[in-house]
Structure 1
């Protein structure tokens, strides 16, 4: 049976759509040809974990984070959903720990496997934990030193109390001042020790890299000593060549070139020549701006009314909207129709004082089927609503014009046809 060209075209389009959908999901990390198992983890905080972050086991990536949402407990905790590729099963007692995967602080999930013969099922919630930050680790290291210093200070305080009864008043005064300085010195040493520990912990890898780079540079310089000798000889030759060059003549020629450029710029600023006329012609700028706006209207009309320009399509695009502002023709019909610009729709209520609405004088809120739509610019003037729509597109790219007749929404093309636009 021979297929018609339309049947072949349909098969080609369906195959193209299938390849497109598979490719988009593959780029997101979803492979339809591999088995994927989803699990959930609840965290109090995620410290920068993102969707599509890697899920690792012993340094090997076995999956990725799919979604991150707030939990239903209303306490600010977060639910992370991740998937594993293949048929790997997570034993019960395992922990999903958020760690830093590199020096830049990129976060990933590391599965700490607990050997067990009982496994979590798909969709189960497994325990989670978060790697301690550098500040917390340094604090834990400094805490024993701090405790010892406090004990030492307490002992010194008791000793000073005994000594004050032994020495005379002046000696006791000197000892008190000395121990006060010792106390301050110990506190300073504690602070310096904490700073040094934190600095060494943060810059340990950098210091190691610097030492390795210095060794490589030293060995490279040693291996290329002959090349450096040749380079110095070449520089000497270049220096001799530069000494023989007529620098004064070159500077003179450069000054003449600069004077010529200044003369050309002066003519352009005074409006002489073609370039000067183009730069000083305000009418040319206005014509270009008007042509840009007309081109924008033409592109919108082509997008909304493809049948006006292309009379063949393999699909029914579903709407014929013709927007072409013209002068008023029917004053009586115009008063029956009003137009508004639809800015945005939201499943939850937005404040009219939101900064996104600051460029609009009046914003109207309409509740439809549990959602909220926000409109602006009520007018019966088609040209005026087009200007409002153009301004709204800069803030809301999906803004659109809707028409009403006697307070009821009607099709935009019908209203424009009635108005003769």
Structure 2
């Protein structure tokens, strides 16, 4: 039996260890030494945190992984990404390798297959594109809201400054007075509401009593409907009788009487007639007054000295003439 030395055993183990180390390193990088994979390249200006071994997908199916990322320029303006395709698929030349991320931030390379008739071979370069991250999308959505919020806060600040300017010591005192008046108004409103509730009480409220009285009145009217109808009939008959009567003739006679009365009053006011002279001529009035005075004296003398006018004596002696009371009064 062949015997191996310790040195040989150590050498074989070292070779096996190095081989396993290389295989494990390549497996971690997504490479396989026992398969015929295809490597294509894409040039990006921004990789958004893409790392080696990130998955490469076509329509959601993992078809490979990212093999390596290298900087092509000193300013890192271009980054070369090596993509290993492990599945046996054909990639049209006008396809696009697009870097995208999911909600958790995991980066993947999505291959959007084109419709060209020629296909990429190992070592060819594919068109590159980068999707915006969720953060960028949120920024795009939030930027208008942030601007509106800034404008709103500015307006609120202006309003608060205006309110502070308005609410000086006098205005604050007026506002306190207004609040006190409002409290008083609310109390009055409470009392008014209580009074209204009392009025609207279905048992003892004034409104209910009013409705009850109204119902009683309407009931009385209903009960006396026949009497009211008779009264209305009598009124109708009276108006018919007045309408059929000689009202026009009576009015004409009354008008004629008023005319005659006006003529009589006009004659009395006129000085041509006797009655007019008596009423309007002062001389006639004075003469009449004088005649009446003399007539009164004559009657008074006849009463006092009747024998002056009728002489009758058995002995032929004359009585002495007595003065009139009016004349004696005038002499005194």
TM-score, normalised on structure 2?
Answer: 0.38
Q: Which has the higher strand share?
A: 1
- Give the greater-gyration-radius structure (CA): 2
Which has more helix, going by share of residues?
A: 2
